Structure 1
Amino acid sequence: MSNDKKVLPPDEVNSPTRRRFLTKSALLATGGMMSLAMSQAGHAAPVTINVPETLSGGRTRFHQIYDVIIVGSGFAGLAAALEAKSHGLSVLVIDKMPVFGGNSTINGGAFAVAGSPLQKEAGIEDSPELMFKDMLKAGRGLNHQDILHVLVNGTLEAYEFTLKHGVRYKPFVQHFGGHTVPRTLQTVESSGAGIIMPMRESAQKLGVIFKTRCKFESFIQDNKQTVIGIQVKEDYRFPDEASGTSRNYAARHGVIMCSGGFGNDLRFRMLQDPQLNTDVDTTNHEGATAEAMLAMLKIGATPVQLDLIQLGPWSSPDEKGFGYVSQFNTIAGYPQGIIVDVRTGKRFTNELADRKAREDAILAQRDAEGKPVYPVCFTNLEGAKQAQSLPGALKYNVAWQFDTLKELADHFAIPYENLQKEVDVYNAAVKKGSGDPMGKDVSRAISIEQGPYVAVRVWPKVHYTMGGVQINVNAQVIDSISGQPINGLYAAGEVTGGPHGASRLGSCAVADGLVLGRIAGAHIATRPADPLFNTSASDNA
């Protein structure tokens, strides 16, 4: 995207007479005139704005004023912040947790890019159109195709954007399940922190203001229901809801919600899918909860596909959270090995199928009483040579190494003869370059005829929420009654719903956050500043 500010028509005024989700507490409406006093230290004294017509009545006191406020500091939040800042706006990014990044920091740092230079160097033919087809297939056709088109067509530019801000990638392309061709790039750190840290550092150098332990509470709207700020709790100590001091922040151009999904919100996710109870672990950080999304619903946002919750098919029952095994399986076990039922020694799924297909196949591995029978995924050391997490997995006994296939079979009580036959059939397909009985693309796979072998146990965990609020192609949040944008409110990343449909393809969350986050940051800059906040005073810190 260009750094030149584009002039577009103002948003259409959205003023339905009533919203079914409105609550009095969500409408701290404001209007009228204001005066701004700045201290020598650059902090603003509270600003009082008279309110002639509101549902709540009275006046609102703003403690700080910015051009743009972004809730959430993951991929989408940082992309939005950098883009808005590049258009000359003052930007505040808040996060309720004591550290920045949320799930983005702890994910695998894998980014699907259609038409990357590394693909071209490797002779891999790819395009946004092919990526679109792959995501639509994985999503079972439930994808919102307008947003999906924007996403796939923005990946290459988003990749170049990350390079500009100091992100470094491994010098090879990976083949994740459900993708027709290898198109996944991964940070050298094998972690989303490899994107979050340099982007945040870049944003800070450019003057973006960051606040941790700052919890979003509700929206502040004027008498036309335009979002002009937020109420927060400063010095909030998750999960102590009694902690923190209430403050009001104003946003001249609007608010961008990048607050993430609700994979660790047990109550809310069980409302959507009662099977996702305490017996099901999650890869999400503890702050991945639903309250920010629910606040958008309260002021009229449209909910989209909230019951579509993805389980990661590569995680391990032997460790909590994302752990070491997830990265091992995505980069080694699944593309360069096989997964088998320990009772029979036989494969039961395509290791490179999309996530939902693998998730469903693994969850079906249960005994007569319905208890899980954990499958085993394995490859040899040659297939695992690029798995940076393997040493940690071996150290903490969530992966095991064996000299021979017989030792592996004995350790997991797998019928050896059956397992050997399964390996032989797989190797024959690999040698031929096609014809795998499970339909796996083995054209780039290696033979696992020779050890040493490394193996892990597998069981899915709640990983990603495909549902959220509806946005348009400008990342504006859509009102559920009028079908028009809620003025002053944008969203990007996992808090939104639609682009992924029933199942998100691996490495597409980074693409989603970066592409739509940038769009939100650029489009919000085209909105005229609310006239309530016309002032020549400088912004506060």
Structure 2
Amino acid sequence: MTTTDTPTDPIDVASRRHFFKRAAALSGAASLAAFAPLRLSAAEAWPAFDETADLVVIGTGAAGSAAAARASELGLSVIVLEKLRTTGGSTAVCNGGFAICGTDLQKAAGIDDSPELFEKELLAMGKVNDPELVRTYVTACLPVYEWAKSLGVEFGAPTTGAGMSVPRQHMTKTSQMLKVFQDLARSKGAVFHLNTAAERLVTNAAGRVVGVTARSGKKTRTYGAKRGVVIAAGGWARGEDLLRRFSPAAEKALKLGGLGNTGDGSKMAWALGADLLDVSYTKATYGFNPKTKTSAFVMYQGAVIVNKEGLRFADESRPYKELGEIVMTQPDGIGYQVYDAAVHEEAQKDPLAKTDRLKAAGELHSADTLEALAEKIGVPPKALAETVAAYNRGIVSGADAFGRSSLSAGGGKPLPIERPPFYAFAATACLLSTYCGPKIDAHARVRTVFDEPIPGLFAAGEGTGGFHGAAYMSGTSVGKAVIFGKIAAESVAAEKA
């Protein structure tokens, strides 16, 4: 790993001082202007960076870690910058689902899936998503799964989730996956700088991205990138300014995303003219208990969702992002998941629907009658009993009042809620990720508003736009991060130093 490369062209002392003076001055600016690129004159075409590598990666979540691992595997020298004192970003706090089709685990479970079905459902979910990115994902997911598995990443049996008609969400332990990627990168010489917040992209006179300025404590340091920079800095679930600008409705939701996710990477790319996609589709995820801040998606096993008046307000099979948007219009943003013993038994088999933590915290309520359950959760007993009775009639007759005909995305058949004991818990919407940002192409190159690639700049992960579109399928966030992180590294490797 090279850390102190001598510039190709000698830079005199005055130029070097000028470079650092400008970097330090810019790093203290506010708002979007604070992320404006540091543009070099022809005389500064290759300044004396503090450290230089083939690739500089910004962020250590699934996207950044996968990019660092793959680039190191390909023989590139790598510098990784992490804003926080620990690695992982949003990946470290997510459930770890990775949507993949055609795996050995699916086949062992007798699950019939295909890239064509996967692609069809992603496009149906996203509505406005980029078909090229979707096609790239569905064709690359199996080879990337095999690659990750060969490195030691562990995958669990596939389960179902929002937007999929067959189980294809393979559960991972994110801490284990991140460790595998990061250990590989370090073993090949990659250098990780923690507590180091990227603040500027450095471009040369021709407009090519050639480095990054970053702040560590009170010091500004510069990192040169001979072949490219990969932005993998996450979204802006903690970025109040960007939430207010693009999706004010999400401001009211719980916020549990990575603490460093304030949109820094998106702003840096935006300042270079990057197009921003899907920013108007940011939605919080329904299914999180307001007190424990843990999730359970029992609605996809057959639960109904009622508000504080004991009334249903949506088709429970809809994607949890859409449900999150709807629940925020209900009193106090609460939707109780209500179900019976039969649904409860199935939910305990699904790691995304299990309610153990809710029960341990006293947030899972049960009773032998719906009226008694209503008393426990504080909704009108008569209204809840009538709501469930009407739901049962609709399910049996095939004419549900809200159009529900499946458990999720056309898969599974909902059954009447009638076998005691009955269960309920409060759930609201939580903003974990924003799933939008700079436009990328199938090679993970960042593209401008004129659909031109920005030379030397690549991006992957949550903070990219175009793939998800208007809604999100379970497991495609981690999947997108790993897949396009790997692709970004391979694209950088193809660049000339």
TM-score of the two chains, using structure 2 as the length reference: 0.83
Separation in 2 of the partners of 1:337 and 1:202? 43
Partner of 1:168: 154
CA-to-partner distance for each residue in 1:39-96, whole Å, 9 max, x for gaps? xxxxxxxxxxxx5267xxxx83311111111101111111111211121111122210
Separation in 2 of the partners of 1:53 and 1:249? 14
The one-letter code matched in structure 1 to 2:40 is A
Deviation at 1:24, TM superposition (A): 10
Separation in 2 of the partners of 1:333 and 1:205? 44
Separation in 2 of the partners of 1:499 and 1:285? 21
Judge conservation of contact 1:174–1:183 (CA < 8 Å) in 2. Answer: yes
Separation in 1 of the partners of 2:421 and 2:428? 24
Separation in 1 of the partners of 2:339 and 2:260? 33
CA-to-partner distance for each residue in 1:392-411, whole Å, 9 max, x for gaps? 22223333344554432221
2:294 counterpart of 1:313: no
Separation in 2 of the partners of 1:408 and 1:166? 46
Partner of 2:463: 495
Deviation at 1:133, TM superposition (A): 1.8
Separation in 2 of the partners of 1:454 and 1:435? 24
CA-to-partner distance for each residue in 1:461-485, whole Å, 9 max, x for gaps? 223323211111111111334x321
- The range that moved more, 102-111 or 293-302, is 293-302
Deviation at 1:422, TM superposition (A): 5.1
Partner of 2:271: 298
The one-letter code matched in structure 2 to 1:480 is V
Separation in 2 of the partners of 1:164 and 1:445? 39
Aligned-residue CA RMSD (Å):
2.8
2:84 counterpart of 1:116: no
Partner of 1:181: 166
CA gap of 1:23–1:456, structure 2 versus 1, over 3 A, is: closer
Deviation at 1:518, TM superposition (A): 0.9
Alignment of 1:393-412 (within 5 A): 393-402=358-367, 404-412=369-377
- 1:143 pairs with 118, 129, 138, which one? 129
Partner of 1:52: 43
2:185 counterpart of 1:207: no
Deviation at 1:349, TM superposition (A): 2.3
The one-letter code matched in structure 2 to 1:503 is A
Gaps of 5+ in 2: 1-31
Judge conservation of contact 2:446–2:454 (CA < 8 Å) in 1. Answer: yes
The one-letter code matched in structure 2 to 1:385 is Q
Gaps of 5+ in 1: 1-20, 31-50, 235-242, 530-541
CA gap of 1:457–1:170, structure 2 versus 1, over 3 A, is: same
CA-to-partner distance for each residue in 1:284-315, whole Å, 9 max, x for gaps? 12211012211111122222232321210112
The one-letter code matched in structure 2 to 1:110 is G
Judge conservation of contact 2:337–2:424 (CA < 8 Å) in 1. Answer: yes
The one-letter code matched in structure 1 to 2:324 is E
CA-to-partner distance for each residue in 1:109-141, whole Å, 9 max, x for gaps? 1111122223223332222222222122222x2
The one-letter code matched in structure 2 to 1:179 is M
Separation in 2 of the partners of 1:283 and 1:377? 24
Partner of 1:511: 479
Judge conservation of contact 1:313–1:362 (CA < 8 Å) in 2. Answer: yes
CA gap of 1:378–1:198, structure 2 versus 1, over 3 A, is: farther
CA gap of 1:316–1:23, structure 2 versus 1, over 3 A, is: closer
**Partner SS, residue 203 of structure 1:** helix
Partner of 1:216: 198
The one-letter code matched in structure 2 to 1:75 is A
CA gap of 1:24–1:91, structure 2 versus 1, over 3 A, is: closer
Partner of 2:74: 87
Partner of 1:9: none
User: What count of residue pairs does the alignment treat as equivalent?
Assistant: 457
**Partner SS, residue 495 of structure 1:** coil
Deviation at 1:27, TM superposition (A): 2.3
CA gap of 1:390–1:96, structure 2 versus 1, over 3 A, is: same
TM-score of the two chains, using structure 1 as the length reference: 0.77
2:91 counterpart of 1:107: no
